[in-house]
Amino acid sequence: MPILVPDINLRIIAPALIVTVTAIVVLLGELVTPAERKRWLGYLSIAGLVVAAFAAFSLWGANASGFSGMVVADNFGLFLTLTIALSAALSILLSIPFIHAHEIDQGEYYVLLLASVAGMIVMATATDLIVIFLGLELLSLPLYILAAFQREDTRSLEAGIKYFLLGAFSSAFFLYGIALVFGATGTTNLAKIAASLAQSAGSPMLSIGVGLLMVGFAFKVALVPFHWWTPDVYDGAPTTVTAFMSVAVKAAAFGAFFRTFQFALPALALDWRAVAAVLAVLTMTLGNVAALLQSNVKRMLAYSSIAHAGYILIALVAMSANGLSSALFYLLAYTVTNLGAFGAVIALSDGARERLEIKDFAGAAREHPLVALALTICLLSLAGFPPFAGFVGKFLIFGAAVETGWAWLAVIGVLNSLVSVYFYLRPVVQMYMSEPAEGWSGIRVAPLVALALLIAVISVIALGVFPAPAIALAAGGLIR
């Protein structure tokens, strides 16, 4: 009997390989790098991410698969890869001065972040449920450690433990769902699952398996009612880790979510679209209402991220080419906007002392007008004000919902966006209309934080004023 050799095409997984090799090099470099030069490990990490982004861009349009159809280099996965690489690079720019100020300047930080990025890329480009699960675990395990990276801070340790326990619980649901889907269809390959369902009706076993898969994805993207870990973990984790988690995890998890349900399970769309619509409404509403009650900026942005997960889920419910491209654009816009907001919060910190209460931002615009302006732009974008990226993203998603007969869902999304205006403007009012708090004059913004903030704000404005190129790229990001 001949031995079947899988079609090994390393070019298809080049971005993930480059990030993995970079992580290994950084780990080895940690052994020989003096303590005062640890920041060079951060620069090396960014260089690796840039090379990985070029590798992903070189594959654009290839639409090639490998490893027996378990991984694909299609434009959908490559767009997400570029988004993830951008989020990681900006996060590292913010992290270099942050971890030095908080005395956690260790090379392992960058290694863990890069390992998580590799898992995200695998998850975004996988076309097999087993490989998706491997990517999910690879992105999650480093984040459990990063959430607890400030070992002297009990809140950080608590965040890591909560994330680990609930993450393991959700992984069990996801893995059990894979087992049931395999039992019902005889395969874990997404294309073969779709072919199997096209030829025969579903079964109760399959329906339960699909439900468990949705629970696993819902936990990672923080959909209600699987969101309870988000505020505590985001609040307790180091701010740079929170910023990274809030955008990169969503990009990877939503990528796998869309690929699994829209590509492999269209035959069951009548069932899961209704469930997803209900989850979208609950997620948007609870996220925005809970954010209204927060006095802490990190917790406010945590609940805000829950609400944005609900907006993105509308694009999955739409289940159309426009819905898919609008989700990709929204993920890119949300990435730069949210990182810009967290970057401004980090910029206004006084060394290791962070200003995280909304009242602490009083009068910031007088001493740091540029940082206050940057934070204002990002918050307005998150709220959906034109001419910023957030407005275009919401316009595209709500438009896709209306086109496919889900106008009522778009209306609820618009109403939720109106609710969000109140809590997004609270820090703005404090910065511009309140008497200055003490200690603003002694704050110096780190150059790398200023650079990351500048890149983020320019991107937010550019994606809002000139969205056509990004929309064209997103429109080409169809699932193959």
Reported as a single tens digit per residue, the pLDDT across 392-404 is 999 999 999 999 8
Q: How many CB atoms lie within 10 A of CB 29?
A: 18
Q: Binning pLDDT at 50, 70 and 90, where does residue 477 land?
A: low
Report how far residue 97's alpha carbon sits from residue 331's, in angstroms, rounded to the nearest whole number. Answer: 26
Domain-located, residue 7: no
pLDDT at 140 over 70: yes
In this structure, of 86-100, 139-153, 260-274, the range with the lowest mean pLDDT score is 260-274
Entry pTM: 0.94
End-to-end CA gap in the chain:
33
Q: Can you give the pLDDT at residue 154? A: 86
Query: Is the pLDDT assigned to residue 129 strictly greater than 70?
Result: yes
Number of other residues whose CB lies within 10 A of the CB of residue 198 = 9
218-254 as b/e: b if 16+ CB within 10 A: bbbbbbbebbebbbbbbbbbbbbbbbbbbbbbbbbbb
pLDDT score of 479 more than 90: no
pLDDT at residue 365, rounded to an integer: 83
Measured CA distances, 31 to 107, 109, 452 (Å): 9, 14, 28
Assess if residue 307 is contained within a domain: yes
Residues 6 or more apart in contact with residue 176 via CB below 8 angstroms: 209, 212
311 Cβ partners below 8 Å, 6+ apart?
Answer: 280, 284, 330, 393, 394, 397, 413, 416
Q: For residue 6, tell me if it sits in a domain.
A: no
Residue that is written with structure tokens 């006084």 in the block: 350
Averaged pLDDT, 431-442: 74
Please list, in sequence order, all residues whose beta carbon lies within 8 angstroms of the beta carbon of residue 273, skipping any fewer than 6 positions away. Answer: 317, 319
Q: Is the pLDDT of residue 352 over 80?
A: no
Q: Express each pLDDT in 283-318 by its tens digit.
A: 999 999 999 998 889 999 999 999 999 999 999 999
Task: Indicate whether 452 pLDDT > 70.
Answer: yes
- Which residue from 18, 135, 82, 139 is spatially nearest to 10, judged by alpha carbons? 18
Residue 5 lies in a domain: no
118 in any annotated domain = yes
Confidence of residue 107 (pLDDT cuts 50, 70, 90): confident
DSSP H/E element including 265? none
Residue 9: inside a domain, yes or no? no
- In the chain, how many domains are there? 1
Asked if 67 and 8 touch (Cβ cutoff 8 Å), the reply is: yes
Local confidence band at 3 (pLDDT 50, 70, 90 cut-offs): low
Determine, yes or no, domain membership for 4.
no
Which of these ranges, 114-118, 122-126, 361-365, has the smallest mean pLDDT?
361-365
> Is 219 within the bounds of a domain?
yes
Q: What is the residue-averaged pLDDT of the chain?
A: 89
Q: Is the Cβ–Cβ distance between 38 and 107 less than 8 Å?
A: yes
Domain that holds residue 468: 14-475
Q: What is the pLDDT of residues 421-434, one digit of tens each?
A: 999 999 999 888 87
The pLDDT value recorded for residue 61 is: 82
